[in-house]
Amino acid sequence: MGINLHSSIGRYYLASALFMLVLGLVFGVVAAFNYIIPGFSQEYLGFIQLRPMHVSCVMFFILMGACGCIYCGLQSAQPDTISKPLAYMQLVIWWIAIIAILFSYSQQQFGGREYWEFPPKYALIIAITWVLFLVNYFIAATKIKKWPVYIWMWMTGIIFFLFTFLENYLWEFPYFREHFLKDLTIQWKANGSLVGSWNQMIYGTAFFLMERISGERSTAKSNLAFALYFLGLFNLMFNWGHHIYTLPTESYIRYVSYIVSMTEWIFLLRIFYTFKSTVTTARKNYYYFPYRFLLASEVWIFFNMMLAIVMSIPAFNLYTHGTHVTVAHAMGTTIGINTMILIAACFEFFMPHNEEFAKGSKVLNVFYWMLQIGLLLFWLSLIIIGIQKGIWQMGAQTTSFSSMMQSLQAWFYVFVSTGIILMASLSSLAFILLHAFLTKKKYLHF
Amino acid sequence: MAISFFSYSLVLYSNKNYTYQSNYDHTKAIDGQLVWQKYNCQSCHQLYGLGGYLGPDLTNIISVKGKDKQYILAIIQSGSKQMPVFHLNEQEKENLITFLISTDASGTADPRTYIKQSNGMIYKHGN
């Protein structure tokens, strides 16, 4: 293709995203220590600050990573169509927002809700950056003929993120706070679809990378690709109610969400159906790190989809809702799927494209497997903790909440230890990629 | 599909099928929710199982035997091994307690009150 992405603005977003990832990991591990050492670091930065710092940093990692991949993708598909001034302005405003938000958390200034605990005034800054992104996207994308699926997915993700992000702030209007249950219903409608919107952007990136790695344009233009896109979009719009099965709200919300959530079986069946060709492709491309991380994300899609489908059945949800099984799902998908795809993208845009480098990268190999094994143990520990809490909450509850949490201490130690392994492996990968970015070696050739 | 989504959204926004209890001051309850957000209670606690998992669910805490308004205020003011001390003013305390009365009045967060059907669906006892 011969497209030079060396000066692509997307790389600056990806580098920013990696930095946010490292921060998010550090805050996450320090926060986790509160599970084994009550009141850990409360004097300096308590859990009440660390949790939102961790969540916000991770979300900014995903969002900036998605922006970076999309800008690189647009540059690749249709060179020199992105407005660089708009893109740089967006990046600068993002950083202003991030610094303001992290500072406000450190000063215990909150006021927002789940995922967006910062003072609501900063949401305006994020909304502005997103409008700039939307405008820039259409400036570039409208010049592309015959959109492959990832261009549709990116567009969908960007539009729905803006819509659901604004919907997340409807509570600012007194009308939406009149009744607590209605308020909570709308909040989790927004949150559920919000996650779906950034998944569209990230999974679109996976399609883009697969097209580049395979060299087959048909990958992203096939009927199957578009069918999966529509299925994902359908779930984004209507399955959010599985977050609130036990909320005494309208029962039709429960029915709609249950039925729609079960269509995700199709994703699972597709993994089984394409397993043989996945293995053949894996053998061919194993040494190529972008592919290897995409392959890892496929494996994690399988594990997390199994868990998600079980959790989406209301009768099972009674046991998992409000427990660490939910955390296992959230972290399993964020790290196992979204992060793997973004790391794959960073390798694609920052590192050498040759087998000699990949085979010689013993260090990368070690961190890769440390990440996979660490994540598996981390995920399993959360599921075990969650199941035990679920059994307690559905049982006679003869012991108090604090006694129940105390009984899980050994598993919390596993959770924290494996969290440290995750931090070490992911941070190391991030530092290696950032080094490649900062040394500006010309790795980008096609 | 987009039209269905926006229509569904509008139905939810305009829904007025929720019952309103009369045993508390609604204005104070709404302000109390802002106090909940101001002090980021959701980082450790849940309402209807939604929030952080370090502490217990507080949806129905106000009606738990032995954990009335005075108990809750005492915990907020003195903290515990895991929970920091919070310095709420009198109005904030009043509003937060009223908010917790409203969450309790909205229903029960106890998942054991649901009955499981063979098709995987759940429904509330009495519905």
Encode pLDDT of A316-357 as tens digits: 999 999 999 999 999 999 999 999 999 999 998 887 666 666
Specify the number of domains making up chain B.
1
Whether the Cβ atoms of residue B31 and residue B95 lie closer than 8 Å to each other: yes
- How far apart are the CA of A206 and the nearest CA of chain B, in angstroms? 24
Encode pLDDT of A161-220 as tens digits: 999 999 999 999 999 988 899 999 999 999 999 999 999 999 999 999 988 887 777 778
| CATH architecture of residue range(s) A264-446 | Up-down Bundle (1.20)
Q: Is residue B17 part of a domain?
A: no
Enumerate the residues of chain B whose CB falls inside 8 A of the CB of residue A167.
Answer: 9
Q: Structural domain boundaries of chain A?
A: 264-446
Q: Is residue B81 part of a domain?
A: yes
**Interatomic CA distance for residues A161 and A71, integer angstroms:** 17
Closest CA to B5 of A234, A254, A199, A261: A234
pLDDT value at residue A5: 57
Q: Is residue B119 part of a domain?
A: yes
Cβ <8 Å between A34 and B51 = no
> What is residue A139's three-state secondary structure?
helix
Reply yes or no on whether the pLDDT at A259 is more than 60. yes
Q: Is residue B15 part of a domain?
A: no
Q: Is residue B5 part of a domain?
A: no
The 8-class DSSP code of residue A178 comes to S
pLDDT value at residue A88: 94
Encode pLDDT of A63-115 as tens digits: 999 999 999 999 888 888 889 999 999 999 999 999 999 999 999 999 999 98
pTM (2 d.p.): 0.93
Q: Is residue B61 part of a domain?
A: yes
Query: How far is the CA of B85 from the CAs of A16, A89, A251, A334, B77, in angstroms?
Result: 36, 41, 39, 33, 5
Enumerate the residues of chain A whose CB falls inside 8 A of the CB of residue B85.
Answer: none
Here the CATH number for the domain that contains residue B79 is: 1.10.760.10
φ, ψ of residue B51 in degrees (nearest 5): 145, -155
Q: Is residue B13 part of a domain?
A: no
Query: How far is the CA of A130 from the CAs of A89, A125, A158, in angstroms?
Result: 11, 9, 8
Q: Looking at the partner chain, which of A110, A179, A246 has a beta carbon nearest the beta carbon of B48?
A: A246
Closest CA to A94 of A69, A68, A125: A125
The parent domain of residue B114 ranges over: 24-123
Q: Looking at the partner chain, which of A48, A170, A247 has a beta carbon nearest the beta carbon of B40?
A: A48
Size of interface A-B (CB pairs under 8 A): 147
- Within 8 A by CB and 6+ apart from A278, the residues are A271, A295, A298
Whether the Cβ atoms of residue A20 and residue A102 lie closer than 8 Å to each other: no
